[in-house]
Amino acid sequence: MERHMTTKWVAYTDGACAPTNPGPAAWGVVVFAPDGSEQAADHGFIGPGTNQIAEITAAIEGLLRTPEGVAVELVSDSQYVLKGISEWRAGWERRGFRNSKNEPVANLELWKRLFAVVDARQVTVRWVRGHQGNVNNERADRLAVAALQKARGGV
């Protein structure tokens, strides 16, 4: 098991949508405290949704498993989520939550919930390539897939 000794919390998050997108959606998270101890390995079923909904929900759920006010590194393979937090948010807010095409931002209520959770913490983001050997990203993915399997009545 990969151990982390850092000055911040680390939340690995992943969403899943299968067998189709849109389709059944779920999330998985693995969260570590600054001393490297695992604080959460959790998952949940969302219901009908998209991969984007699953990824945003995973980020919310991962960050909610950290105390307010702390420094947290959010690690995800979703550039959509990470860029939404780190790059797109300011422009969206300036334009009244409209994207660069002047269309309403998709999944706006989820984004607003994520931003509120982010604002209660000192969040930095780190992208990892999915399914490329990052142990805890892959654990988060397996947890999300397990939530989908449970919802379908599997083990």
Structure tokens at 25: 């959606």
All structural domains of the chain: 9-151 (3.30.420.10)
- Cβ neighbour number for residue 153 with a 10 Å cutoff: 6
CB 105 within 8 A of CB 115: no
> What confidence tens digit (pLDDT) does each residue in 88-121 have?
999 999 999 999 899 999 999 999 999 999 999 9
Average pLDDT, the chain: 94
Q: Please tell me the pTM assigned to this model.
A: 0.93
